[in-house]
Structure 1
Amino acid sequence: MSQQTDSPPSNERVEAQYDEYLMPIWKNLNVPIKRASGSTVEDFDGNEYLDVFSGISVTNAGHNNEAVVEAAKAQLDEFVHGCTYVHPNQPAAALAERLAEVTPGDLQKTFFCNSGTEAVEGAIKLARKYTGSKEVLALEMSFHGRTLGSLALTGNKSYKADMAPTINDVAHVAPPYAYRCQMCDGGPCSCACAEDVERVIETHTADDLAAVVVEPVMGEGGIIVPPEGWLSRVKEIAHDHGALLVVDEVQAGYGRTGEMWASDHFDVVPDIMPQAKGIANGLPLGAFTASSEVADAFEAGDHLSTFGGNPVACAAALATIDELEGGLIENASEQGAWLSDRLAELEADYDVVGDARGLGLMQGIELVDPDETGPMGVAPAPDAELAKSVGKHLRERGIIIGVGGFHKNVMRFQPPLSISRDQLERAVEGLRTAVEATRDGGA
């Protein structure tokens, strides 16, 4: 029994409780949060931090957004739960209709769940039911979740260790990672990685392809943006083989890239589109949306979720979409253009910044060791230790930033879309100072 039950909360106490009572899932915990507003969080000891990671790209409308909080509170006064798939409720019905309006093309019918992982797995089940096929193609370096099914799609061994995914009919193809591409040999992008999808289907599948699953911008992979034409070509190849294109907008959707959906940048309409993270600005909700033709392949009992489409979360999601369309997506586009220029300057000024890339407010810089050659002789070697040091330097000076990527060497800017120019300038200048202070082994 804990001896700290009556003691006031503090950073030290919360961290001690994590050590003793939570499973040790995350090795490098960030600052404890007592309260948050906009792009600022406060810990239990009264320290304030500028948050440019927004809980892994979740609080797109800003921490504690008043309109979202009020919508959730109003629904709490009505009722909290009745199971959306047993008792129809108005927030779920209204949100499904709204998603039909804001999703691309003819996407119309939505299934609600609780997370991005569930959304991806549900999308795969629907693709299998609609096509009658079983195999799935995904990208190397991709991330689609940590449950056994979604983990099988994830193209990163660090997430798979000791887990034995249960979907065996999965093959992987090279990602559209221009900075470390082995196919274009340092020349102009030829979209050879898109054409390679055809080769992998022919050599690694049994001609029973149900879906090709891709992220329109690869978040956990390191903010990898595909070249023009890549996504449309992948969709064309998928359809040529009787498969559906599943575009995982879990991290890149809901205004993150300066458009409502990252796939909007490429004028591609997915066949099925999983969503989560930014959908309800922090409340647990996931979804996948498809055309009526594809969605109607599901029959009663094919899929279900006890808490999916919870009315409180759906009310928050409706308010979130209003906030995004009310100026936050435009802000993401404008601030993102400014941020892109500033990060490009860092790339030009420091040889340890190998590449700056991204869309809207989903951007990053890749930190490298310029004196060492990277994997397969392509680009300078990733420098994960430098990235870790830069992240620590920033955190100690009141700025929270993401550190990740396949090689764990990418500084990830994914702030609330409500962030101001002054706050963004502080973050960029802090990053510049951190790179300068740590690049030669400093702390």
Structure 2
Amino acid sequence: MAKWLWSIQGMSKERMMEIRGRNCHPMTMKVTLYKEPVFIHQGHMQWLWDVDGRRYLDLFAGVATISVGHCHPKVTAAAERQLRTLVHTTNIYVYPPIHEYCEKLASNLPDPLKVVYLTNSGSEANDLAMCMARLYTGNFDIITFRGSYHGGSPQTMGLTSLVDYKYPVGIGLGCTNTMCPDVFRGIWGGSHCRDSPVQTTRECNCAQGYCVASQHYIEQLKQTFLTSVWSRIAAFFAEPIQGVGGAVQYPKNFLKEAYKLVRERGGLCIADEVQTGFGRTGSHFWGFQGHDVLPDIVTMAKGIGNGFPMGAVVTTREIADAFAGGFHFNTFGGNPLACSIGSSVIDASRAPLCPQDMLAIFEDIKDMGILIGKGGMYGQTFRIKPPMCITMEDAHFFLSVFNKSIQNYMEKR
């Protein structure tokens, strides 16, 4: 690992750990991932540096939160502009950032999902979605998958189905868990299942377009309806791909059939996009789009603000109106700074740079001692095709140079 050459001034590791043990809640000690804690000092795009200058390629992204990069120049610039204008007011007043952001966010969701309520976290968004579903349907029971994680608030701990996140107290009343349709590790499916995420080409014994494993899991959902809840339910929560539960992918068409069964019982279908939204699944902007379903409510957080505390619930006008019978207020939901940052995250684009900008990066790479090609329809693709004798040391050198050239370009903008 390369080291960044700087002199870190500030609190020592020993002092930080002393305070952590004495003044921070003991849970902060428990959630440290590594045997030896990592002492992070700063980050830039996909990289983090610790207090000793050691560099790390961050592939966990602050628990699936840093969607466009640490201290992304565009996001940072948007935050700085807003900090000079208006840091905080609440939505009892009318101010531009919240309206600009709500319109922008809604434009990225299909009809009729066009009504936005902004929160501060995913737990809070899911909490609010639970309340909306119960008010709209007049029903109480909510179903989630085993292994799911939907938050740590008293209400959402009932939705969450992982033992490490449970406490022996009365929380999350009316929440029922059903079997997770895991065709990789579950009872039905396995490595030869056509719908298993570990393979897509081998033959299985199912007829084309039909998955026996999926039908078994649907039967389990039906059994939950028959034995564990009232005949009418309020909602069904599902992450499009289960996150904390182990990156579980469901059989094709399972969610489509599950949504149909839920709606037959009066329930709303809620997509928890806290970890899968904003392009995290790769093929679509929202995870639910990969299942060809349309939820009634979508909740989101984490990547929505690229690390800034922010969340949202998006639903239909009809469901939103049912919630408007009372009064619900959130001091920081829709904060001007949060909305400005959220807007800049949505504006991160895959549009090609102009030829002049590409040439500047291309020349910079050459000036630092590396020759590459370029191509693509707009000349926007760097073509990297080394001879077979290239070494790992050469590859590391190229990555350092390429990263530096991109950084140089961003700093000049």
- With the shorter chain as reference, the TM-score category is 0.7 to 0.9
TM-score (norm 1): 0.69
* Structure 2 equivalent of residue 120 of structure 1: 126
1:305 aligns with 2:311: no
Give me the whole-angstrom Cα distance separating, in 2, the residues matched to 1:34 and 1:326.
32
How many angstroms apart in 2 are the aligned matches of 1:309 and 1:134?
A: 28
**Equivalences for residues 231-250 of structure 1 within 5 A:** 231-250=255-274
Query: Who is 2:410 aligned against?
Result: none
| 1:286 pairs with one of 311, 328, 342 | 311
Distance 1:248 1:286 in 2: 11
Does 2:181 correspond to 1:157?
A: no
CA distance in 2 between partners of 1:227 and 1:155 (Å): 20
Q: 1:326 to 1:33 in 2, by over 3 A?
A: farther
Distance in 1, matches of 2:135 and 2:318, equals 12
Instruction: Give CA-to-partner distance per residue, 1:96-115, whole Å, 9 cap, x none.
Output: 11121102332000110100
Residue 276 of structure 1 is aligned with which of 290, 295, 301?
301
Residue 168 of structure 1 is matched in structure 2 by 173
Whether 2:76 is the aligned partner of 1:52: answer: no
Note if contact 1:141-1:155 (Cα within 8 Å) is conserved in structure 2: yes
Which amino acid in structure 2 is aligned with residue 104 of structure 1? P
8 Å contact kept, 2:218–2:258: yes
Equivalent pair of 2:270/2:299 in contact (CA under 8 Å): yes
Are residues 1:100 and 2:106 paired? yes
SS in 1 for 2:132: helix
Which residue in 1 is equivalent to 2:371? none
Change (3 A) 1:89 1:194: farther
Aligned pair partner of 2:23 in 21, 24, 30: 21
Partners of 1:186 and 1:312 lie apart in 2 by 47
1:78 and 1:214 map into 2 onto residues whose CA distance is 39
Q: CA RMSD in A?
A: 2.0
Q: CA deviation at 1:297?
A: 1.2
Could you list the per-position Cα deviations for residues 225-280 of structure 1 after superposition, in whole angstroms to 9, with x for gaps in the alignment? 11210111111111111100001000111111112111111121111000000001
Question: Are the counterparts in 1 of residues 300 and 311 from structure 2 also a CA contact under 8 Å?
Answer: yes
SS at match of 1:318: helix
Match of 2:68 in 1: 61
CA contact (8 A) 2:155 2:173 kept: no
Whole-angstrom CA distance in 2 between matches of 1:77 and 1:252? 33
1:79 corresponds to which of 54, 66, 86: 86
Larger radius of gyration: 2
Q: Distance in 2 between matches of 1:324 and 1:75?
A: 21
SS of the aligned residue for 2:155 comes to helix
SS at match of 1:209: coil
**Equivalent of 2:152, from 129, 146, 151?**
146
2:172 and 2:167 map into 1 onto residues whose CA distance is 15
Give the aligned residue type for 1:280.
G
Structure 2 residue aligned with 1:319: 344
Q: Secondary structure at the match of 2:143?
A: strand
When residues 324 and 173 of structure 1 are mapped into structure 2, their CA distance, relative to the original with a 3 A threshold, is farther
- Cα distance 1:269–1:45, how it changes in 2: closer, same or farther (>3 A)? same
Structure 1 residue corresponding to 2:187, chosen from 169, 182, 187? 182
Aligned counterpart, 2:411:
none
Query: Secondary structure at the residue paired with 1:133?
Result: coil
Taking the aligned partners of 1:96 and 1:132, their CA distance within structure 2 comes to: 28
**AA in 2 matched with 1:59:** I
Identity fraction in percent: 33
Native 8 Å contact 1:9 1:44 kept in 2:
no
Matches of 2:45 and 2:83 in 1, distance apart?
23
Which sections of structure 2, spanning at least 5 residues, go unmatched? 1-8, 194-210, 353-397, 401-413
* Counterpart residue identity of residue 288, structure 2: S
- Work out the CA distance in 2 between the residues paired with 1:248 and 1:281: 17
Contact 1:105 1:269 (C-alpha < 8 Å) held by counterparts: no
Q: Deviations over 1:136-188 (max 9, x none)?
A: 011100000111100000011221033x2422211110112112221447763
Distance 1:24 1:129, change over 3 A: same
**Runs (5+) with no aligned partner, structure 1:** 1-6, 328-420, 424-443
Q: What's the CA shift string for 1:417-442, capped at 9, x where partnerless?
A: xxxx969xxxxxxxxxxxxxxxxxxx
The 1-side partners of 2:345 and 2:190 are apart by 43
SS in 2 for 1:138: strand
- Give the alignment of 1:187-226 within 5 angstroms: 188=193, 189-190=211-212, 191=214, 192-226=216-250
Taking a change above 3 Å as real, the CA distance of residues 74 and 235 of structure 1, as seen in their structure-2 partners, is same
User: What pairs up with 1:227-266 in 2 under 5 angstroms?
Assistant: 227-258=251-282, 259-266=284-291
Q: Give CA-to-partner distance per residue, 1:50-82, whole Å, 9 cap, x none.
A: 111000011110000011111111111111111
Structure 1 residues 182 and 245 mapped into 2: Cα distance closer, same or farther (>3 Å)?
A: same
CA–CA separation in structure 2 for the residues paired with 1:92 and 1:257: 27
The count of corresponding residues between Structure 1 and Structure 2 is: 322
Distance in 2 (alpha carbons) for counterparts of 1:240 and 1:315: 40
Query: SS of 1:110's equivalent?
Result: strand
Task: Please state which structure has a larger fraction of its residues in strand.
Answer: 1
In structure 2, relative to structure 1, the CA distance for the partners of 1:232 and 1:316 (3 Å cut) is: same
Which residue of 131, 135, 143 maps to 1:137?
143
Note if contact 2:234-2:267 (Cα within 8 Å) is conserved in structure 1.
yes
3-state DSSP of counterpart to 1:289: strand
Aligned to 1:369: none
CA–CA distance in structure 2, aligned partners of residues 36 and 180 of structure 1: 36
Displacement of 1:14 in angstroms is 2.5
**Corresponding residue for 1:335?**
none
CA distance in 1, matches of 2:298, 2:350: 19
Q: Structure 1 segments of 4 or more deviating over 6 A? A: none
Distance 1:16 1:42 in 2: 22
Assess if the C-alpha contact under 8 Å between 1:151 and 1:165 holds in 2.
Answer: no
Q: Is 1:35 the counterpart of 2:42 in the alignment?
A: yes
